Structure 1
Amino acid sequence: MKYPISNLLSRSFFSILAFVFILSFQIYSQELNQKVTTLLTEGDTFAEETFENEKALEKYLETLKLDPQNYEALWKVSRSYVDIGEHLPSSTDAEKIQQEQIYKKAYAYADSAVIVNPNGSMGFTRRAIANGRIALFKGIWDNVGLVKQTKADLEKAILLDPNNATAYYVFGRTHAKVSEKSKIVRWPLGLSWANQEDAIKNYEKSISLRPDFIMYRLDASRAYVDMENYSKAREHLKTIEVLPTKDEDDDKFRGEAKTLLENIKNK
């Protein structure tokens, strides 16, 4: 069967057009991916090396403008909001309201990360952290539901990634904070699960995964002091003296560690 030349030309034209479209789309996708990667890397430098939280947030938000469903950017925006919020002044009612709003933003972005990727450990971790901040801000005993959700998110995060140091650390802090109240008081609220032994267990796991992070060892030391295990507390506190800076608050943590070590020197 013979086809008119015009039909052949028409088919050739559309084939070429389709090829050009596919090629252009591939080039665009590659350029977009490169821009996203660059922005995330720049954000990480600000967040983890120079500790410029506002600039880190800006880079992560720029990433979301290009790729609104980017899981990594979503949970890192949440992280930046928490980092910003915890350094805001909170002496007046207006300042407290502003801080609470920042933590709520952190929760919203972490929640979006969980929705985008329900199999991602860091989304649950960051949602737990934001929830925990809100609970501490409002008072955990008046917001038991937030505490329970924090626990559930941390358990899920650890299940998804057994090497998630942040999740173990936050779970340790959750156990430590909730167990400050007597178990008799906590039991009717469904919070009898918290205990100092599990706090230490989770702290030690986080330290084994990230041994150079000062905050993990400092809070573990405090838990050991509460348990009157002063030798283990001293072990971590002395290690802190030689650890590098990995967090913007490490100088403050070193000072607190030095004070605590001095306080227990004869125990």
Structure 2
Amino acid sequence: MLIFLALLYFCVACSLIWLACFPTGRAMLGQFVFSLRSRMKRRDTEWRGAPARERGAFRRGLAGGLAAAVKLARRNWIVFAIGVPVIAIPSLLALVLRSPAMLPDYVPTAALPDAQIAALLEGEQLVPPVAPPPLAFTTQEVVLVRPMLVSASRNWGLLHPDFNARLLLAFKIMKEQHGYEMALLEGYRSPARQDLLAQMGGTVTNARAFQSWHQYGLAADCAFWRDGKLVISEKDPWAMRGYRLYGEVAEQLGLTWGGRWKMMDLGHTELRLPGVMRR
């Protein structure tokens, strides 16, 4: 059934293109329709007045035409065997594999969970939280998990305005609804710093310069602030619960969460705007 529909679609599409692009085709179609109407009227008149013998001859002629068509198909079965799959398979694949994600620059739209996110779209202005003191980024726990973090940029003004607003709203929801105070570890990252981190190996990052959304101000690495200390370790059950909640909130805000990746980056979020990163 699908093959028949695909073949029918192909034939109809070709016919419409032919009629739209070639005046001769439209003229031929008009002439054919006029001739067909005249012939049908004449046939109808003749059919009503024709004896049973002539009607039987007509039926036999129709049956003979069908038999001739079947004979033609059998005689040229190789052409049909090659031509039908060539025409049908692309259309069938398009039907079976159709998905909006196959379209270029497609970005899924996340559902808005509550009025707070609607407020974001209406332009709610949020203020960045007070940054932790520089010494908070030099503790042994932080350095082991995130080397060179002390020199990272935590300037909210360098982030893309749309991403900035969504990230601030994520911080607000995490604090008000879940009791987690968030801290920005790194936002914008220069191409030179990206290459330097990439040279440290895959455990830090696999992205070279301009292969990361950090270079476009569309990514951020975040962690939690508890009792005057940064909590980054994934071995902390409290922090792991926070990362899962943070991922849920981020995705509801239309952000991509690094916790879904094969090489998980639980504190990472990014906003993949179409047409920004040229791969």
TM-score past 0.5 threshold: no
- Relative contact order (alpha carbons < 8 A, sep ≥ 6): 1 or 2 greater? 2
Specify the structure having the higher radius of gyration (Cα): 2
Q: TM-score range by the shorter chain?
A: under 0.3
Please identify which structure carries the higher strand content: 2
Please identify which structure carries the higher helix content: 1
